[in-house]
């Protein structure tokens, strides 16, 4: 089955700096790669996603890049703010199978 | 955030008891999922269902059971066979065959504590 590794497990940055979180996956059939943000005690919410026919996608301060050859994808957050502090999860999905495999999460702390 | 609900929000159980967690959605999504989340860890798949009256085991199905008799409901039973059930349980749903395929919409979760 699919295996997703996410790094780093914790990340601390100063407000205004950039943050990068990386994930690798094992199954070349995976074709959809979402990123979720989970605040303490809350449900995960989708913040950005990318499908396998695209190499990069950007939404304001957030961007995701995908390298299908190397089987890795990354989340980039620029100009970080304290409200970006949360746990971020990546996932790899083979939509035909209807199943996602999640990384273990990255706890991001943005210090004012 | 509306569209998928879970109840109760908090649940306490004595050892040896079965408990059932509710999950309902009004998004008309075909697929539904149950995940378990332990402190500081990711989401582990318990069961999933892509269509009514059919479901598949996830990575940690032992000690759990589900049913999918209706499209909008996917209850999870935590049985006494589950040795360490204290965790945060998340239900999710996703559309199939549409532009949003693969995007998971999560419920607010149920925090289960075994006393």
- What value does the mean pLDDT take over residues B18-24? 96
How far, in Å, are A36, A57, B13 from residue B105 at the CA level?
10, 21, 27
A105 with B96: Cβ contact below 8 A: no
Q: What is the pLDDT of residue A25?
A: 97
Sign of CA dihedral A13, A18, A19, A22: negative
pLDDT by 10-residue block (mean), chain A, 112 residues: 94 98 96 94 93 92 96 97 97 86 96 94
pLDDT digits (tens, 9 = 90+) for B44-83: 999 999 999 999 999 999 999 999 999 999 999 999 888 8
Q: What is the pLDDT of residue A97?
A: 78
> b/e string for B75-114 if b means 16 or more Cβ within 10 A?
bbebeeebeebebbbbbbbbbbeeeebbbbbbbebbebeb
Q: What is the pLDDT of residue A36?
A: 96
Tell me, rounded to whole angstroms, the distance of Cα A86 from its chain centroid: 12
Say if A93 is an interface residue toward chain B (CB within 8 Å): yes
Q: What is the pLDDT of residue A74?
A: 98
Q: What is the pLDDT of residue A41?
A: 86
For residue B102, name the pLDDT band (cuts at 50, 70, 90).
confident
B42 with A43: Cβ contact below 8 A: no
Which tokens hold the place of A100? 């996602």
Tell me, rounded to whole angstroms, the distance of Cα B46 from its chain centroid: 7
Q: What is the pLDDT of residue A38?
A: 96
- For strands B31-37 and B19-25, give the pairing: unpaired
Say if A2 is an interface residue toward chain B (CB within 8 Å): no
Beta strands in chain B (DSSP E): 4-7, 10-13, 19-25, 31-37, 43-51, 54-57, 64-66, 76-78, 87-94, 105-106, 110-114
**Nearest C-alpha neighbor of A74 from the set A61, A53, A57:** A57
Residue B1 pLDDT exceeds 60: no
Q: What is the pLDDT of residue B56?
A: 95
B42 with A89: Cβ contact below 8 A: yes
CB under 8 Å to A34, separation ≥6 — which residues? A46, A48, A49, A90, A91, A93, A100, B102, B103, B104
First to last CA, chain A: 41
Residues of chain B contacting A34 with CB distance shorter than 8 Å: 102-104
Q: What is the pLDDT of residue B97?
A: 67
A104 with B41: Cβ contact below 8 A: yes
How far, in Å, are A89, A104, B4, B68 from residue A5 at the CA level?
10, 7, 28, 31
pLDDT digits (tens, 9 = 90+) for A26-55: 999 999 999 999 998 899 999 999 998 889
For residue B2, name the pLDDT band (cuts at 50, 70, 90).
low
């Amino acid at each position: 089955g699919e295996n997703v590794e996410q790094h780093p497990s914790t990340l601390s940055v100063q407000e205004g700096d950039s943050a990068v979180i990386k994930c690798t996956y094992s199954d070349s059939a995976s074709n959809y790669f979402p990123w979720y943000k989970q605040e303490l005690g809350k449900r995960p919410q989708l913040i950005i996603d990318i499908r396998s026919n695209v190499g990069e996608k950007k939404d304001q301060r957030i961007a995701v890049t995908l390298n299908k050859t190397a089987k890795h994808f990354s989340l980039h957050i620029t100009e970080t703010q304290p409200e970006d502090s949360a746990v971020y999860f990546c996932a790899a999905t083979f939509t035909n199978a209807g199943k996602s495999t999640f990384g273990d999460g990255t706890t991001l702390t943005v210090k004012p | 955030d509306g569209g998928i609900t879970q109840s109760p929000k908090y649940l306490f159980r004595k050892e040896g008891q079965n408990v059932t967690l509710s999950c309902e959605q009004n998004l008309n999504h075909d697929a539904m999922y149950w995940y378990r989340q332990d402190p500081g860890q990711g989401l582990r798949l318990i069961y999933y269902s892509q269509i009514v009256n059919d479901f598949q085991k996830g990575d940690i199905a032992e000690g759990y059971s589900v049913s999918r008799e209706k499209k909008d409901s996917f209850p999870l039973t935590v049985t006494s066979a589950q040795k360490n059930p204290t965790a945060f349980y998340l239900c999710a749903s996703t559309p199939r065959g549409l532009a949003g395929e693969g995007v998971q919409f999560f419920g607010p979760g149920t925090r289960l504590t075994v006393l």
